[in-house]
Structure 1
Amino acid sequence: MKKIKATILATSILSLLNICAIQSVHASQQIADLISSQLNVKYEVVDNQAGANGVNCSALGADWASCNNVMISIKNTGTAINNKDWAIYFDNIRMILAVDNDQFKITHITGDLHKLEPTEKFTGFPANTTVNIPIIGEYWIVSESDVMPRWYVTSSDAKPKIIANTNTDSDNLSAFVAPIKQQWKRTADDQNILMTPANRFEYNADINKLSELSLRGQILPTPSKLTIGKEDVTIDQQGVNLILNGLNQESLAILQDQFKALNIAVTGKGYQIKATIDPKQFEQGKVGSYQLDIKNDKTLITAYDEAGIFYAIQSILSIIPVNHSNSIPMLNAVDSPRFVYRGIMLDIGRNFKSKQAILSLLDQMAKYKMNKFHFHLSDDEGWRIQIPGLPELTDIGSKRCHDLSEQNCLLPQLGSGPDSNTSGSGFLSRNDYIEIVKYAKARFIEVIPEIDMPAHARAAIVSMEARYKRLINEGKEQQANEYRLVDPTDTSNTTTVQFYNRLSYLNPCLDSSKRFVNKVIDEIAKMHIEAGQPLNTWHFGGDEAKNIRLGAGYQDLQVKDKSDTKGTIDQSIEDHPWAKSQTCQTFVSKGKVKDIEHLPSYFAQQVSTIIKDHGINHMQAWQDGMKHAENAKSFAVDKVTVNFWDTLYWGGFDSVNEWTNKGYQVIISNPDYVYLDMPYEVNPKESGYYWATRFNDERKIFSFAPNNLPQNAETSVDRDGNSFTAKGTMNWPGAYGLSAQIWTEDIRSDNKMQYMAFPRLLAVAERSWHQGDWEMAYQKDRQYQQGETHYVDSKALHDDWNRFANLLGQRELAKLDLASINYRLPIPGAKIVNGKLNANIVFPGLNIEYSTNNGKDWKRYSDPVAINKDDTIFVRSISPDQKRTSRIEQLN
């Protein structure tokens, strides 16, 4: 009887506890639901030069004593909320140094993820009232895109809910980000010019519209030699007959589809385009070279190889406008590529990109004769490729969600929010990747996969830790340790560039790390074999394996002579990566490496042996990953190539020479010229990171001299808009290639990726294929500076740019429309002169529209037009297919 009563009592208690738990969860969910729907967030930049206005940025520990002042305002639009059981998580790309409201505290979680929660002094969110939370953050916020969406609220065990006015898939963050107006300068010494309609008008003033006749027969990218005849060849209704001897069927089918897209039939009876492969006709023997002779009765192509045939046809397609494709000019072209490597790097680690978007990018690369697709497949924020045998990499490492234990996913970053249904999550299956490689191969593009290591490896590390715990729980200790990437003895206190801790650094001293690398290379190499493009180049990554707190912008709080321009911190508690790993300390004590800082380069050498063992004889890396190796011969493979990414104005114009002089092949990848995640122009509405430059527009990229880096000091400025001097002090044998980069921290959608890439990528293609007549040969010890030296033929550069700009405006943008590319439409320049609206555009031929009634009606601009003095004028450009418009701006 006692047992029965005890059982009944226990059951009753459990039932009561379950009811209480359910009620508790229900109450927590009510709080989360209420806060997410009732609170509105406003994020406003108050001061980007806080250090000059009374804030002691140095004492707060800000790098280079640079800090900003931001106001976070939270408006309660409903009834009072007094409950303290809540936390708001949000992504802030700047480290938060101080909070000036004692009712709240902000905790850094990892990366850019922060938590805002109430303190004991919290008095609630009163009804229909705004609460202000001033914060001090590191560095600056001069672009509205710096602010990340999808702030979300949690409460005990409740399901996280996104705060409604921050929930957007769009790049328009105006629902909660206040416009940045007067705070667009980083420092008082910032001499950049804010791009307004009036300033744009002056910037575009030297660009004039060229006649259709003067653009006739112009090929992009520009051939080595081009002679244009006076007559045209009519392509009648029978279309073209492609007789391309030696070209594979997959590539032939692509070319046929390209003609059909221009409404040109491909038949056996049309105008003949005949090609043959004859490498003996080409002295230099460059892959992709061709001779093209368009005559009245037929077109003859002689090519060095299959790629040469493909590129020759691209040249024919290039001269055919979208709207009138019934004739082509007679011409003769002799052409070969400037660089062996003409590439683009796409990062899908930070934010995933769809397979279709990647294939579309490959299509455009092929049209403009780019041939290397550097595929950044992993980073701290995501692992993006399926690896058989290691399911955790995609089951966990490819997903971001609110899981503080990170057993199911990585924590949210970069505005991905609490759920796994945004661009923060996603991966390519094995079949997806094989399809991409096949697609690239048919377009004569080599896919170069990058698995970044030993830094930027957090997604892999967290995934392999989850694997370790799973197998340990199953009693499989040996298997658990097989691919573990961290040393459990390592307690190093480190901070990465993106504010992660030691779990961002794969341990280079573990045999299990090498086994992991071997496994990943082996599986990806198999995919390449199946795709018919054997893996010829492996990209190691190698960048930024350091603790930023030990950088030059900080000083120890014990230093006697402190600098006001450095952040003051306790550096005694800071460690270099792996400094407290017992395994790595053994490496140092046994002399395997000179010191801990040499480990990244040591690991690169170890990986080169693994690469070689897989029959891959070409290794690529970011140059800082190799800095402690003696030279290129320190590696097991025959060829070592570096992506050189030093900014020019910080010495990159000369440090580039060190790499070629050590035997490395150098791919010019400078962020201040060819990073396509930087803004197009100096304007807070223009998105993009700006640590290297405030703008990379088409004109700047077109004017870039990649094979004579000092020359660029004469034609461009530094990040702050100031001139700089540049002189090469060493011999320079020349670059191996040129590569554009698309990092995707604030590029969340496929459309945004296309917006940031196009049409800038066309300028990169031009410079990688063709050397302008205005580009100077490198000359050791020759110094350049804007306004001081005049070595560059400025007229030749201007005329070349004017031609290119006209080709984009009058021809190429229409082709991007045809391919459904969401390229950036430039905003017109405009100003009022003597009561008339004057407007211009960077790409002549692109239509300009204006409104005098707040955008209700739009009129086409052609010539200066009289405007009433009381009218408010707005301007925009419109795409050739009339389907899209640029950002709208008001004349002041």
Structure 2
Amino acid sequence: MKSFKTTLLNASITALLTTLGSSAFASQTIVDTLSQQLKVNYKVVDNHAANHGIDCSNLGGDWGACNKATISLTNKGPAIQDKDWAIYFSSIRMILAVENEQFKITHLTGDLHKIEPTDKFRAFPANGTITIPIIGEYWQLSETDVLPRWYVTSTNAKPKIIKNTDTETLANIVSPIGEQWRRTPDDHNILMTPQSRFERNADVKKLDASALRGQIIPTPTKFTLANANITLDNNGVDLQLNNLNTASQSVLKEQFKKLGIPLTNKGYKIEANINTNKANNTVPGAYQLNITPKKATIIAYDESGIFYGVESVLSLIPAKQKPVIPEVSVEDAPRFQYRGIMLDTGRNFKSKQAVLRLLDQMAAYKLNKFHFHLSDDEGWRIEIPGLPELTEVGSQRCHDLTEQSCLLPQLGSGPNNDNLGSGYFSRDDYIEIVKYAKARFIEVIPEIDMPAHARAAIVAMEARYNRLMAEGKEQQANEFRLVDPTDTSNTTTVQFYDRKSYLNPCLDSSKRFVDKIITEIAQMHQEAGQPISVWHFGGDEAKNIHLGNGYQDINAADKVTWKGTIDQSKEDHPWAKSQACQTLVKQGTVKDIEYLPSYFAIEVSKIIKNHGINHMQAWQDGVKHAENAKSFAVDKVTVNFWDALYWGGYDSASEWTNKGYQMVISNPDYVYFDFPYEVNPKESGYYWGTRFNDERKIFSFAPNNLPQNAETSTDRDGNVFSAKGTMNWSGSYGLSAQLWNEIVRTDNQMEYMMYPRLLAVAERAWHQSEWEIPYVKNREFKQGETHYVDQTKLLSDWTRFANIVGQRELAKLDLAGIDYRLPLPGAKIVAGKLMANIALPGLTIEYSLNNGKTWLTYKEETAITKKQTNILVRSRSLDGKRTSRSEIVQ
């Protein structure tokens, strides 16, 4: 029998828990119930709301644009009347109005919003649906505009994700976009359906294997084919790569092994040497390759030339076929010294394994610059010794409203840190990545974005500040603080963050932080054997969007309907109310508050120089207020140029080269991989710069004569535009493709967006084709009106390239385990016959006559009976393991 004391103690504890914990228990119950019983559906109702009676201007929509949508919450169980709950969700569109009095929606920070019940909330009815009509800014043209992992919270409860939103299959959440796919009523883009794809692909014929004999990707400067073929037998190859470092030799040997080619001293000899006599007069990476029946000989002018020469041999070897290579003579050199890929790991993290796979493919296609975007508002992704909060707090996203343990959820990451919304590269990871890149002749260019896009660092350093202040260590607390506590500026970033997104450029502590970061990352590079030669400052988008041209003040005398009407008297430029920054302006150190980003870029260039790094890189807007490239402490400044061409970028690019900057062409409307492959709501991606960037468009891009592109492409609404270069143009330093990862949440999604577009970028970065014409000042281009581009040569070149990719290169991506995008087939029914084609000839086309129950291989025009409706088509990978999504042929 229990003692009276024990019984009394237990009773007291029970009473206390009842008093303190009953609300917590009830809160968790409502969270668990809502997360299981509710089903979310998001439906875009009208993307042209301003044309249909909605005063988007008065609601404050940028450029007077807004859309109507509905959020439907279906309760699959008993009625729920409790009001102690909130639903958090990500929305890339600002919500301007809510048209259901039972609910209110609040914007928190970035894309994070929450739905709460008002006093007029009645209940989630049993087995019923409540619809919340909303007005959002701009438009929503794609399923991927809606983000997953909506979650429920309540007082003292653990948040839970609403079950049907815990998915990457967004059709589970989003109703079909349907006819709402047009950005404006005058959108002249062509919706990609099987029928329209068929027309787009119609001029690209499948070539015989003989027509592809001897073709190397990227295309060499010169090559001459002979008649002999060399079969690599069971003895494989004998690599004799004199003057090539051991690590790079190992990379090449592994590539042969993956293709099933043994390495033996009895194999076909591949011999390489460096010609030191020409080394000082030749482009880095240049080589000569002669393949004869006896042996292959490579003469290069540096180590990278040997590597690229062997990569060309590897390019000739088919995957999972008889290993036969032709007799060929090649003279080759890269077009650009900068052939780059930018990977954003700040918005959503990417695993080390995915990064290494990317470096493998960059090497195979002779890309040599890896622009590593390691920080942004949504995440800090590299371990820095001595600043543990950067990764303990700044790399993690979870539901902590104080943001002392993590950043708030963004971009569909949900309340937990168990996905790639969270993550970072350890110091050892980063060193391994740099070593891996070095062995493949790829330079790693680290970017720590500043002064804007710095929220993850700022929140982390505020957590550090609070910790050290609590320990009574005020001096240490302020050592790396990135905000001025006097700054009360009201600002909004492009991604809807407040002033905590902008590192303060007027503080000595900010400069100490930069110095610390460069010191630590430079040391990692030293240990990896690739000292930093270029530091990327970032510098983009340090502005308040509400002071942009798409808005007008509520008290303006001449207001227009095509601008958002807001009270701009309450808006500030970044740092406008920082006493530290006002002091710099009063002292004349900086001309104006708006000049601070470029001022900070110059200050950082001094820190970079002090570390022995003499080359700085930045996004163009980060240095726009500097007089020219000589304003900086370093000898070279490279800018990533990212103006859309049809907005004037075809001409404004020259301003940067004429100011002495090296220009890396990084245009969103041609080489942003985070944009869709085609105009179709099922395709993922942002589309502010263009509605699509597919392999053919990228292949047809002329990066060294920007006006030329007006003759071969359109603006984002599918309209032709004219382009004329009015300034002297000294040429591009390089070409870079970018993958921003706001809505790329997984490694597989990353590879879907990267490949096979990466191959087209590699082609244009390495090889200048005959249809690309020299820049001529004041020459005007316009599709349908000028005819400077030889369209016959362009089509022939694309047909060749598309067939090489479709018949050969995708099989190598299969072998490497790359989850590339499979193009959907074009198809139509004519006179009772199914006709189909595909953008990359060589891939298998399949069709189904019974709604996907069984699939047949399409080989030629196929008779269809009248009873056979809803015919589906799809494509299949060369290894047979994957298929594209399927679509109905109308």
TM above 0.5, yes or no, is yes
- Aligned partner letter, 1:120: D
Equivalent in the alignment of 2:392: 395
Cα deviation for residue 284 of structure 1 reads 4.7
Q: Is the 8 A contact 2:28 2:154 kept in 1?
A: yes
Distance 2:279 2:774 in 1: 24
**Cα deviations by residue, 1:233-280 (Å, 9 ceiling, x for unpaired):** 222221111001000111111111111111111111111111000143
Match of 2:605 among 608, 611, 617: 608
TM-score, normalised relative to structure 2: 0.98
The equivalent residue for 2:48 is 49
Match of 1:721 in 2: 718
For 1:305 and 1:282, how far apart are their aligned partners in 2? Answer: 7
* In 2: Cα distance, 1:663 partner to 1:175 partner: 51
Does residue 567 of structure 1 match 2:564? yes
Q: Which moved more, 1:235-244 or 1:694-703?
A: 235-244
* Corresponding residue to 1:378 among 361, 375, 391: 375
- Pick closer, same or farther for the CA change 1:308–1:19 going to 2, 3 Å: same
CA distance in 2, matches of 1:9, 1:472: 44
Q: Quote how far apart the aligned CAs of 1:778 are.
A: 0.4
Corresponding residue SS for 2:621? helix
User: Does structure 2 retain, via aligned residues, the 8 Å contact 1:262–1:325?
Assistant: no
Structure 1 segment 351-366 matched on structure 2, within 5 A: 351-366=348-363
Residue identity in the other structure for 1:878: R
Which of residues 200, 209, 221 is equivalent to 2:197?
200
Q: Which moved more, 1:266-275 or 1:607-616?
A: 266-275
Q: Is the 8 A contact 1:263 1:325 kept in 2?
A: no
Structure 2: how far apart are the matches of 1:327 and 1:135? 62
- DSSP 3-state at the match of 1:268: coil
- Among 751, 755, 760, which residue is 2:757 paired with? 760
**TM-fit CA distance, 1:16:** 4.0
CA contact (8 A) 1:264 1:325 kept: no
In the other structure, the counterpart of 1:74 is 73
Contact 1:279–1:285 (8 Å) recurs in 2: no
Q: Distance in 2 between matches of 1:349 and 1:279?
A: 43
Residue 154 (structure 1) shift: 0.5
CA distance in 2, matches of 1:256, 1:176: 47
Offset of residue 323 of structure 1: 2.7
Q: Among residues 826, 844, 848, which one is paired with 1:829 in the alignment? A: 826
Pick the aligned partner of 2:410 from 413, 419, 433.
Answer: 413
Kindly provide the CA deviation profile for residues 458-506 of structure 1, in whole angstroms up to 9, marking residues without a partner as x.
0000000000000001000000000000000000000000000000000
Find out whether 1:113 has 2:112 as its counterpart: yes
Q: 1:817–1:880: 8 Å Cα contact kept in structure 2?
A: yes
**2:49–2:67 contact (8 Å) kept in structure 1:** yes
- Note if 1:235 corresponds to 2:220: no
Paired residues of 2:279 and 2:302 also in contact (CA < 8 A): no
How far, CA to CA, are the matches of 2:423 and 2:298 in structure 1?
A: 44
| CA offset digits 1:173-207 (Å, max 9, x no partner) | 11121111010001011000000000000000000
CA-CA distance at 1:9 after TM superposition:
13
Partner of 1:466: 463
Task: Note the C-alpha offset of 1:281.
Answer: 3.8
Change (3 A) 1:152 1:232: same
Q: 2:259 pairs with 254, 259, 262, which one?
A: 262
1:814-863 Cα deviation digits (max 9, x unpaired): 01000010000000000001100000001111110000000000000010
Q: Any gaps of 5 or more consecutive residues in structure 2?
A: 1-6
Q: Provide the residue aligned with 1:83 in structure 2.
A: 82
Rounded to whole Å, the distance in 2 between the matches of 1:372 and 1:761 is 13
CA distance in 2, matches of 1:479, 1:280: 57
Q: Find the partner of 2:835 among 825, 835, 838.
A: 838
| DSSP-derived class of the 1:822 partner | coil
Structure 1 portions without partners, runs of 5+ = 1-7
Do residues 486 (structure 1) and 486 (structure 2) align?
Answer: no
Q: 2:882 maps to what in 1?
A: 884
Q: Of the candidates 494, 499, 502, which is equivalent to residue 502 of structure 1?
A: 499
- Give 1:422 shift: 1.1
2:723 touches 2:781 (CA, 8 Å); kept in 1? yes
With the length of structure 1 as denominator, give the TM-score of the two structures. Answer: 0.98
The one-letter code sitting in structure 2 at the alignment partner of 1:642 is V
Work out the CA distance in 1 between the residues paired with 2:15 and 2:387: 43
1:143 counterpart = 2:151: no
Three-state SS of the structure 1 residue aligned to 2:178 is coil
1:857 aligns with 2:854: yes
Name the CA shift for 1:77/1:45 in 2 (closer, same or farther; >3 Å): same
Contact kept? 2:237, 2:264, Cα under 8 Å: yes
Q: 2:287 aligns with which of 285, 290, 304?
A: 290
CA distance in 1, matches of 2:179, 2:758: 31
Residue among 804, 807, 811 paired with 1:814: 811
Residues 295 and 330 in structure 1, CA contact (< 8 A), matched pair in contact too:
yes
Aligned letter for 1:23?
Answer: S
How far did residue 296 of structure 1 move?
1.2
What is the SS of the residue equivalent to 1:345? strand
Matched, 1:542 2:519: no
- Amino-acid identity (%): 69
Q: Secondary structure at the match of 1:182?
A: helix
Q: Which amino acid aligns with 1:427?
A: Y
Cα RMSD after superposing both structures: 1.3
1:431 aligns with 2:421: no
User: Counterpart of 1:466 in 2: which secondary structure?
Assistant: helix
Give the structure 1 partner of residue 187 of structure 2: 190
Query: Structure 1 residue 282: deviation in Å?
Result: 6.2
Residue deviations 1:204-250 (CA, integer Å, cap 9, x gap) = 00000111011001000000001011111222221111001000111
- Of residues 622, 631, 652 in structure 1, which corresponds to 2:619? 622
The equivalent residue for 2:336 is 339
Question: 1:13, CA displacement in angstroms?
Answer: 8.4
Q: Are 1:592 and 2:589 matched, yes or no?
A: yes
**CA–CA distance in structure 2, aligned partners of residues 21 and 91 of structure 1:** 33
Q: Which residue of 1 aligns with 2:472?
A: 475
- Say which SS state the counterpart of residue 580 (structure 2) adopts: helix
Distance in 1 (CA, whole Å) between partners of 2:804 and 2:54 is 50
SS class of match (2:172):
coil
Q: Are positions 1:673 and 2:670 aligned together?
A: yes
Question: Quick check: 1:874–1:888 contact (8 Å CA) kept in 2?
Answer: yes
**2:306 pairs with 1:299:** no
Contact 1:809 1:844 in 2 (8 A): yes
Residue 21 of structure 1, CA deviation = 1.8
- Asked whether the equivalents of residues 492 and 575 of structure 1 are also in contact (C-alpha less than 8 Å), the reply is yes
Q: What CA distance in whole angstroms lies between the structure 1 residues aligned with 2:15 and 2:509? A: 49
1:887 Cα shift? Answer: 1.1
Deviation at 1:325, TM superposition (A): 3.8
Cα distance in 2, alignment partners of residues 701 and 17 from structure 1 = 68
2:41·2:174 contact (CA, 8 Å) conserved in 1? Answer: yes
Residue type of the alignment partner of 2:877: S
- What letter corresponds to residue 475 of structure 1 in structure 2? G
Q: Which residue of 2 aligns with 1:4?
A: none
1:38 and 2:37 equivalent?
yes
Aligned partners of 2:39 and 2:164 also within 8 Å: yes
**How far did residue 15 of structure 1 move?**
6.9
Q: Which residue of 2 aligns with 1:217?
A: 214
Secondary structure, counterpart of 1:183 in structure 2 = helix
- CA-CA distance at 1:380 after TM superposition: 0.1
1:24 aligned residue? 23
Residue 398 of structure 1 contacts residue 409 of structure 1 at CA under 8 Å; is this kept in 2? Answer: yes
C-alpha distance in 2 between matches for 1:441 and 1:217: 29
Q: 2: distance between equivalents of 1:586 and 1:869?
A: 80
Letter paired with 2:114: K
Q: Which amino acid aligns with 1:121?
A: K
Quote the Cα distance in structure 2 between the aligned partners of 1:9 and 1:863: 86
Secondary structure of 2:559's counterpart equals coil
- Tell me the residue number matched to 2:705: 708
Distance 1:731 1:282 in 2: 31
Does residue 664 in structure 1 map to residue 661 in structure 2? yes
Q: Within 2, Cα distance between the matches of 1:850 and 1:751?
A: 25
Cα distance in 2 between the residues matched to 1:891 and 1:264: 43
